[in-house]
Amino acid sequence: MRLINVQTRKLESFVGKGVPPYAILSHTWGKNEEELSFRDIQTGNIEKAGNIKLEGCCEQAKKHNLGYAWIDTCCIDKTDAVELGEAINSMFRWYRKASVCYAYLSDVPSGDNPKDPGSRFSSSRWFRRGWTLQELLAPNKLHFFDETWTFIGTKEKMWRNIETITGIPRDFLVGWAELHEASVAQRMSWAAKRETTREEDIAYCLLGIFDVTMPMIYGEGDKAFGRLQEEIMKKTRDDSILAWGLSPAESTPSKSTYVFSGGALATAPLDFANCGRIVLRKRDATPVNTIDISGGRLRVHLSLHTTSAGEIYGLLNCGPEHNKEVVVGIPLDKAISGVSDEYLRPQGRCLVLLPKATSSVLTKAIHIRIERQSRTHEAMNRRYWLYVDGHEDINLELNENDVYPPVRWENGRAMIAETMDSDETIIRRYLARFRTQDKGSRDFVVVLEFEIQGSQTQARCHVMTGSRDTALRDLSQNLIYMRPEAFWKQTANNGTLNMEVTVKEEYVAQESMFVVTLARASSSLVATVDATWELQVVDLKLEYVRILQEGDEIHLEMERLDRQVEKKAIEGAGEWIQYRRPDTVIVGSGVRAPCCS
């Protein structure tokens, strides 16, 4: 292991237990020509933009009475493939053993307050890069610094902010729980929205998270993520690795007669995006079976559940942490090979949550095809896409996670519906938030609604403005309660920009694509709907309805009490008459008034 002497700025090599205490740097790379390399440190050519990282790291290490520091760009000879592979497999351990880790956030300006909504800290690219995930989790001590090397805070103190940004629970952030205690699916979800420059690195950057090693083969593409999953299965019996494809909304199973294998393994961490709260279930006192791969098949022991519609699901030993009575069921279909225990995982069907199997239900060994089949054009599902255009021309920003419900982006567009049944009716609504670079400006929120019935499609959209802390989820759930006048406005003004939105349907490669276009409004007379205010009105309406309901309940209770009082009064009057009868005098056949003494 090479370390930088913080006094001399020279590299020194150490082996085994002879490694001294050291600080370690976590950062995101800039342009290659700006970063200090191993050769630059060797030759003393350090007058580059990246020198601020070297100087800042070394000076901070001195303050912590540390004599050495480690920086990946400086300490690894990336021209040596063998050394690079060894370093990548050792990276997590090096960060774990460091005395302190300095996270240098080059895109966070001085004076930024992480607690402010929309802070640059929260949107820093450091939280979106693949390699920085292990650099967040591995160190016992992690200190954050802004672009001027001004101290921001520690992971231990800022865990609430970091949990909100990353979705990683506190226990794993601060080290109260070991990473292996999180399910494989949960750990994969932490990397779902992270990116790497090279495709293979989205797998290589997770080696330490799962405590596995494997050789680096740059050029293998997405096969690297498949190899990673195979290595994980060799080390663990956690079948949540099969829980990819969980959808936040209920899905309608495909009615097609065509069944295509979707493969047994996930294609990327993004497939686990909705598994952040999927945890392992405690196993019964029965033998625990392994997951094996051979001959293009994945062998796993599962309880099988067949629905009344004949759909087959394999029950995994994991489920949502908030409901311990259900488990994840992966869709299965019998393979046409004729082998009784061979299944495939069909494309177009999502995972479901099902009641967990009783102890009397036996598990069985089944084989699931690894291969992911490509579908011919004639049998391919009809797919519908969303594409957003024009927003960059008017300085508006759309982040991929600023769409609700969440969508998966491919080549700048998102698939928003898929069907094989020509008679199926699909109704969808999506909300997208567009931000400006001016923190004081309000966001634009565009609502797209479309209906597909057979070959007929209808789409319409409208725009609102809202504060940055107005959640799209809350807005989506409360649209049905809003005033009719709040809808179908195609223009809005956020205080600095008059904007209009339109939608039209286009066909690309014989597939339907809804193109939402944002542009400057031609008219200065813009009627703007404030989504934040509309939500407040909805809250008041719902509160008013609640009060009225309580009033009705009180009124009904008072009527019931009045009837009881009236009943008691009538019963009391009858008792009084019976009590007075002995005082009456009967004369002949008539009744005379009571006698007076």
Say how far apart CA 161 and CA 163 lie, in whole Å: 6
Q: CA–CA separation, 332 vs 341, rounded Å?
A: 11
Report CA torsion sign: 43, 44, 47, 50: positive
Domains identified in the chain and CATH numbers: 2-176 (no CATH), 178-243+257-377 (no CATH), 382-529 (2.60.270)
Asked if pLDDT for residue 389 goes beyond 70, the answer is yes
End-to-end CA distance of the chain: 122
Is residue 597 scored above 60 in pLDDT?
no
For 74, other C-beta atoms within 10 Å of its C-beta total 26
Residue 511 pLDDT greater than 90, yes or no: no
* Coil, strand or helix at 567: helix
Region of poorest pLDDT, from 8-22, 185-199, 377-391: 377-391
Q: Tell me if residue 251 falls in helix, strand or coil.
A: coil
Q: What is the pLDDT of residue 455?
A: 67
Segment 57-74, tens digit of pLDDT: 999 999 999 999 999 999
What's the pLDDT at 585? 45
Average pLDDT, stretch 257-278? 85
- Contact, 11 vs 75, CB < 8 A? yes
Arithmetic mean of pLDDT, 116-130: 94
Predicted local confidence at residue 527, as pLDDT: 78
pLDDT in the model for residue 287 = 55
Tell me how far CA of residue 83 lies from CA of 16, 77, 213, 389, in angstroms: 16, 7, 14, 45
Q: In this predicted structure, what is the pLDDT of residue 381?
A: 64
pTM beyond cutoff 0.85:
no
pLDDT of residue 255: 44
Confidence label for 249 from pLDDT (cuts 50, 70 and 90): low
The fraction of the chain above a pLDDT of 90, given in percent, is 53
Asked if residues 246 and 288 have their Cβ atoms less than 8 Å apart, the reply is no
pLDDT tens, position by position, 126-154: 999 999 999 999 999 999 999 999 999 99
pLDDT at 114 over 70: yes
pLDDT for res 591: 45
Adjacent-strand bridge partners of 154:
143
Q: Look at the block and give the residue holding tokens 């969980």.
A: 246
Stretch 338-359: mean pLDDT, rounded?
82
pLDDT score, position 186 = 97
What is the rounded CA–CA span in Å between residue 189 and residue 49? 34
d(CA 445, CA 425): 26
Mean pLDDT of 29-43: 90
pLDDT at 589 over 90: no
Q: What is the pLDDT of residue 571?
A: 73
pLDDT at 252: 45
Question: 36 — phi, psi (to 5°)?
Answer: -75, 135
Mean pLDDT of 69-87: 94
The letter for the amino acid at 139 is P
What is the mean pLDDT of the segment spanning 474-496? 86
Distance of CA 582 to the CA centre of its chain: 86
Evaluate if residue 477 carries a pLDDT over 70: yes
Of 96 and 249, the structure prediction assigns the larger pLDDT to 96
Whether omega before 594 lies within 30 degrees of 0, making that bond cis, reads: no
Taking only the tens place, the pLDDT of each residue in 410-461 is 888 888 887 765 566 788 889 999 998 887 789 999 999 888 876 678 888 9
pLDDT band, residue 75 (cuts 50/70/90) = very high
Percent of the chain whose pLDDT exceeds 70: 88
Q: Are 385 and 513 in contact (CB under 8 A)?
A: yes
Dist. CA 358–CA 342, nearest whole Å: 24
- Confidence (pLDDT) at 182: 96
Instruction: Single out the residue of 456, 271, 299, 466 nearest to residue 367, CA to CA.
Output: 299
Q: 194 falls in which pLDDT band (50, 70, 90)?
A: very high
What is the predicted pLDDT for the residue at 358? Answer: 67
Average confidence (pLDDT) over 550-575: 76
Local structure of 516: helix, strand or coil: strand
Alpha carbon distances (Å) from 11 to 8, 26, 52, 159: 9, 18, 17, 34
| pLDDT tier for residue 48 given thresholds of 50, 70 and 90 | confident
Has residue 581 got a pLDDT over 80? no
The span from the CA of 342 to the CA of 300, in Å, is: 11
pLDDT at 378 over 50: no
Among 318, 75, 87, smallest CA distance to 186 is for 318
Residue 506: its H or E element: strand 498-508
- On the question of pLDDT at 19 being above 90, the answer is yes
Pairing assessment for the beta strands 364-369 and 396-397 based on DSSP bridges: unpaired
Q: How far is CA 123 from CA 137, 165, 585, in A?
A: 19, 8, 99
The pLDDT confidence band at residue 183, using thresholds 50, 70 and 90, is very high
pLDDT at 408: 84
Give me the chain's average pLDDT, please. Answer: 86
